[in-house]
A and B are shown apart, each in its own frame.
Chain A
Amino acid sequence: MIKFLFDRDTWQEIYSSIRKNKLRTGITIIGVMWGIFLLVVLLGAARGVGNKFDTIFGDFATNSVFIWGQQTSMPFKGFQEGKQLRLKRADVGKIEAEIKGIEYILPRNITNSLVVNETKTLTTGVFGDYPLLDLLQKKHMVFGRFINENDIVYKKKVCVIENETYKQLFDKGVNPLGTYLTINEVSYQIVGLYKNQMRMGGPQGGIHIPFTTFQQVYNQADNIGWLMVTASEGFDIRQMEEDIKLMLRNIHSVHPEDERAFGSFNMGDQISKVTGFLTGMQFLTWFVGIATLIAGVFAIGNILLITVKERTNEIGIRRALGAKPAEIRRQIILESIFLTTIAGTLGIIFGGLVLMLINAAVGQGDEATLVNPTVDIPVILIAFATLVVLGTLIGLIPAQRAVSIRPIEALREE
C-alpha cells in the first residue's frame, strides 16, 4: 500500500482522470470546499463574538451584585408597610464583618444635577465614588486619573467625567483637564476623562466626584445610594445576595420575608444568560458546519458514483488487461481522498483569508463587532481529518460498485 501511494503511476492515473473531467472535478471540489470554508468562517465569527463579549465583561467584575433600599411591603415591629429604606454607611462594616467570602464591598451614591461649563449645560447623573470602583468596573482613562484616596480623605472638589458627558459639555478637541465644571453651583476641577466600553450593570457614565465630597455637598450624612458587592473565588454570589439582603432586613427592622424591601441586581445571572447564548451559537455553528461538510462529502461520493458509471467501460478494459479488483478499488478511493484533501485545503485557506478580511474590516479597535475572529489549529486538523475519513468511507461505495460490475458487462458498455 505504501509503495502504491508513492508510485508515480498512481498519481498519474489520478491526474489524468481528473484532467479528463475538469468541470466535474471542479464542482465537486467547490462543494467540499464550501463546507469546510463555512465551518472555518462560522467558527471564526463565533469566536469573534465570544471575544467581543469577553472584552466587554472583562471590564466588569462578573461575580458582582448590586443592592439598594426600596420600600417595605410588610408591616413589622410596629412599622407600617411602605417605609422608605436607605442603606447606611454603617451597614457596610456590618456586612463585611458578618458575611463570608466578600471580595469587595463598595458603597455608591448618585443624584441628578445641573452641570455647567461656560455656556453649555447638562443635567446628568453625578456619582459619589471611591477609587475602588475603577477595580470593579474598569475605567479606561483617556486623560488624567480616577478619584484617589487623597480626594476621599480631603473631600476634594474634583471630578472625573465620562467621554459622552465630555462631548456634550466641551467643544471638540478641547483638553478638559484642569478646567472647572459647575455642578449645582459648586465648582469642581476635572482630573480625569475616561471612555466607557459599554453601558451596563447599573447607572454609569456621567460625572464622578469623591464619595466623601458627595456626602458633604449633598447633605447625605450616612446614606448610601446602593452597594456593589463582589464574591471571592469559590463563593456563590447568589447565596451571598440572599444572605446580605436577609441581614439588611434584620438591621433595618424589616420583616425577614419581605422580599421587596431591598432590591438587587445580579451581574452573574445576566452574564450567564449571555454566555449560554454564546454556547448555543457555538453549537449551532458546529452543527451547520459539520452538516455542510457531510453534504460536501456526499457530493464527492455522488460524483464518484457517476464517474464510475461513466468509466464502466474503462474499468472493464483495465480488468481485461489484468487489473485486480483491489487495484481498481483503491484507485477510486484514493481519488476520493485526493479530491477531499485538495478541497479541504482550499476551503481552509479561503476560510482563513475571509477571517483575515473580517478581522481587518471590523475586528480591531474599540468599536469592533468581532474581536480576533480565529479558529484553533487543532479544531481545523480534526475537521480536516474527519473530512478525509468521510471521503474515504464515501469513496468505498463507488469503489465497490466499480468492482461489482463484471468485466464482461463493463466491456459491453459503450
Chain B
Amino acid sequence: MIEIKNLHKSYPMGKESLHVLKGLNLKIEEGEFVSIMGSSGSGKSTLLNIVGLLDVHDEGDYILNGELIENLNEKKAAVLRNKFLGFVFQSFNLINYKTALENVSLPLYYAGVGRKERQETAMEYLEKVGLGAWANHLPSELSGGQKQRVAIARALVTQPKVILADEPTGALDSTTTDSVMDLLKEINNEGMTVFVITHEEEVAEQSKRIVRLKDGVIISDEKVNQKVKA
C-alpha cells in the first residue's frame, strides 16, 4: 500500500539546511495498523506530511497504492489526497462554522459527489462513529472526543486506502483516548490501513506494528502482540 525507499528530506534553515529524514525505508501492506513513535524532532510529522502528500520529499521513492509519486503538482496532489487518503489531526481541524454533517460531507463535495448522496453517505459514517444524533451540531457544541470522531468519520467518508492520523489522541483525556483508539482499531479490523503518529506508548501499543524513529532514521520496527482486553 505504502512503500518508501531511501527517503530524504531536509528543510532550509537560513544558510544551513536541517536534514530531517535520513534515508527511510518502510513498507506498509494493506490492512496494517502501524504507529510511528518518536520524540519531537525525530521526523515523524515530516514523514506523515510526505506520506499524506502535504509535502514533497527531496530524494528517494514514494509509492502510494502502486503509483510512484513524482512531479506532483497541487492539483494532482489534491485529487490523490481526496481519493486515497483520510486525515485525522491532533487539533481535529474541523471547520468551525459547519455542522458535523457538513464537515463529514466536505471531502465528498470535492470528490464531485451529488448533494443528496453526499448527505446520505456522510450521515451513514456519522452513525458509524456513533454521532448520528449530533449531525446538526457545530464543532463548538461537541466534546473533544466527539470532535475527533467527526474527524474520523470525515476521513473515512471517501473510502480512502489509508487513514493518516497525526497524534489523534494528543488533545484528549485518557477515557476518550481509549474510545478513539477503539474506533481506529474497529476501522482497521474492517480492513482499512491505519497509519498513526504518536509519542504515547499506550497509544502505540494498541496498534499492530510500531516503527520507532530517532533523528530521522528508523531504529526499530516490530510487530505488537496485542493484549486482549479482559
Binding site for B on A (CB under 8 A): 8-9, 16-17, 19-20, 313-314, 316-327, 403, 406-408, 411, 414
- Bound: A17/B96 CA distance, A: 11
Q: In chain A, what residue has the closest Cβ to B52?
A: A320
Q: Name the distance in Å between B218's Cβ and chain A's nearest Cβ.
A: 22
Q: Mark B146-157, 1 if CB is under 8 A from A, else 0.
A: 000000001000
Residues in B whose Cβ lies below 8 Å from that of A20: 97
Instruction: Given A317-B95, A408-B55, verify A322-B115 contact (CB < 8 Å).
Output: no
Instruction: Given A9-B109, A20-B97, A314-B95, verify A324-B54 contact (CB < 8 Å).
Output: no
Residues in A whose Cβ lies below 8 Å from that of B115: 8-9
Q: Does B81 contact A (CB under 8 A)?
A: yes
Instruction: Give the total number of A-B pairs whose CB atoms are below 8 A apart.
Output: 64
Binding site for A on B (CB under 8 A): 49, 52, 54-55, 74-75, 78-79, 81-83, 87, 89, 91, 93-95, 97-98, 106-107, 109-111, 115, 154, 158
Residues in A whose Cβ lies below 8 Å from that of B97: 16-17, 19-20
Q: Are A324 and B93 in contact (CB under 8 A)?
A: no
**6 A-B residue contacts at CB 8 Å?**
A317-B93, A319-B74, A319-B78, A322-B158, A325-B78, A408-B54
Residues in B whose Cβ lies below 8 Å from that of A406: 54-55
Q: In chain A, what residue has the closest Cβ to B155?
A: A321
Q: Name the distance in Å between A17's Cβ and chain B's nearest Cβ.
A: 8
Q: Are B87 and A320 in contact (CB under 8 A)?
A: yes
Q: Are A321 and B87 in contact (CB under 8 A)?
A: yes
Most chain B CB within a 10 A radius of its CB, from A20, A322, A325, A407: A322
Instruction: Given A322-B81, A408-B55, verify A403-B74 contact (CB < 8 Å).
Output: yes
Residues in A whose Cβ lies below 8 Å from that of B107: 321-322
Residues in B whose Cβ lies below 8 Å from that of A327: 110
Q: Are A322 and B54 in contact (CB under 8 A)?
A: no
Instruction: Given A317-B93, A321-B154, A326-B75, verify A407-B110 contact (CB < 8 Å).
Output: no
Q: Are B89 and A411 in contact (CB under 8 A)?
A: yes
Q: Are A408 and B49 in contact (CB under 8 A)?
A: yes
Residues in B whose Cβ lies below 8 Å from that of A316: 93
- Bound: A313/B97 CA distance, A: 13
Q: Are A322 and B79 in contact (CB under 8 A)?
A: yes
Q: Are A411 and B93 in contact (CB under 8 A)?
A: yes
Q: Are B54 and A414 in contact (CB under 8 A)?
A: no
Tell me which of B55, B91, B106 contacts A318 (CB under 8 A).
B106
Q: In chain A, what residue has the closest Cβ to B94?
A: A317
Q: Name the distance in Å between B90's Cβ and chain A's nearest Cβ.
A: 10
- Bound: A411/B151 CA distance, A: 14
Residues in A whose Cβ lies below 8 Å from that of B154: 321
Instruction: Given A408-B54, A411-B54, verify A324-B75 contact (CB < 8 Å).
Output: yes
Q: Name the distance in Å between A1's Cβ and chain B's nearest Cβ.
A: 14
Residues in A whose Cβ lies below 8 Å from that of B81: 319-322
Q: Are B79 and A324 in contact (CB under 8 A)?
A: yes
- Bound: A19/B102 CA distance, A: 16
Residues in A whose Cβ lies below 8 Å from that of B158: 322
- Bound: A20/B96 CA distance, A: 10
Q: Are B109 and A320 in contact (CB under 8 A)?
A: no
Residues in A whose Cβ lies below 8 Å from that of B79: 322, 324
Q: Name the distance in Å between B44's Cβ and chain A's nearest Cβ.
A: 14
Tell me which of A19, A321, A408 contacts B106 (CB under 8 A).
A321
